[in-house]
Amino acid sequence: MNFILNHKYSDGNTPIRAEEAEQLIPRISTMGELNEYEALNILQAREWAFSSRTIKSSNPLEEPFVRMLHAKMFDQVWKWAGTYRKHELNIGCDPREIIQRIPQLVSNAQYWLDHNTFSIDECLIRLHHQLVSKIHPFPNGNGRHARMMTDVIAAKFGRPEFTWGAGENLVAETTARAAYLAALRALDANDNDVKPLLDFARS
Ligand SMILES: Nc1ncnc2c1ncn2[C@@H]1O[C@H](COP(=O)(O)OP(=O)(O)OP(=O)(O)O)[C@@H](O)[C@H]1O
Ligand SMILES: [Mg+2]
């Protein structure tokens, strides 16, 4: 597990803690292999999440879906896939609040969408920001999960998937990642400053 604990994590990427590193499923020994396993798992989750069956029969604006999607994205790599974090981080809410904050967030988003409080895209981007920044519900994988959540809800509401910096690698230190984090931080600092993240997600 030392390769996980000794890794130098990119800006804004929550480091994997020892308790979580112990719960790795595949026998691997490099971050490169870990990234490949996760990417493959996430690809399979995509197929499930965007199948017409899932889009038609499930409601991504319900709390169990939030956990289900994380489980599908990481269940071949991490035993904690689909379970909320139990420890404090320097991002997100108190871990004891997650169980209430997720249902509140998805029902707020449903309300914004039903009442045209914002454009559909703005509703989705505000949900994305609240999920990944204010709650940060999982031990890891929050960024990738919250982007896919946002895309699944977009599909459900007849909007195209977001492009999140034109498919440029967001996991590594790229200019797209720097732009993404800067846009999230702008919205952290000022609740009206949603345009940078909206523009980034459609760029
Ligand atoms: N200062 C910040 N303000 C708001 N959101 C942030 C901030 N720093 C990080 N984030 C969010 O947290 C995510 C990182 O969390 P985590 O490591 O759990 O997710 P990940 O999927 O493993 O990583 P990533 O999305 O970076 O590949 C970032 O992608 C971003 O969405
Ligand atoms: Mg991470």
Dump pLDDT digits (tens) for 126-158.
999 999 999 999 999 999 999 999 999 999 999
Cα of 13 vs centre of ligand 1, distance in Å, is: 5
Residue 163, CA distances (Å) to 71, 73, 114, 132, 184 in order: 23, 19, 24, 17, 16
Residue 167: predicted pLDDT = 67
Q: Mind listing the domains of the chain with CATH numbers?
A: 2-83+90-201 (1.10.3290.10)
Q: Which two tokens stand for residue 39?
A: 């990417």
Residue 142 near ligand 1, beta carbon < 6 Å: yes
Residue 174: predicted pLDDT = 83
User: Is 99 exposed, middle or buried (CB count within 10 Å of its CB: 0-12, 13-18, 19+)?
Assistant: exposed
If you take atom 24 of ligand 1, which residue's CA is the nearest one? 143
Q: Quick one: pLDDT band at residue 173, thresholds 50, 70, 90?
A: confident
If you take atom 6 of ligand 1, which residue's CA is the nearest one? 133
Residue 166: predicted pLDDT = 84
Per-residue pLDDT reduced to its tens digit, 67-115: 999 999 999 999 999 999 999 999 999 999 999 999 999 999 999 999 9
Cα of 140 vs centre of ligand 2, distance in Å, is: 5
Query: Which residues have a Cβ under 8 Å from the Cβ of 27 and sit 6 or more positions away?
Result: none
If you take atom 7 of ligand 1, which residue's CA is the nearest one? 12
Mean pLDDT of 11-29: 94
Cα of 185 vs centre of ligand 1, distance in Å, is: 11
Cβ distance 129 to 184 under 8 Å? yes
Angle between helices 63-74 and 31-49 (to 10 degrees): 130
Residue 10: predicted pLDDT = 86
If you take atom 31 of ligand 1, which residue's CA is the nearest one? 143
Residue 143 near ligand 1, beta carbon < 6 Å: yes
Q: Quick one: pLDDT band at residue 172, thresholds 50, 70, 90?
A: confident
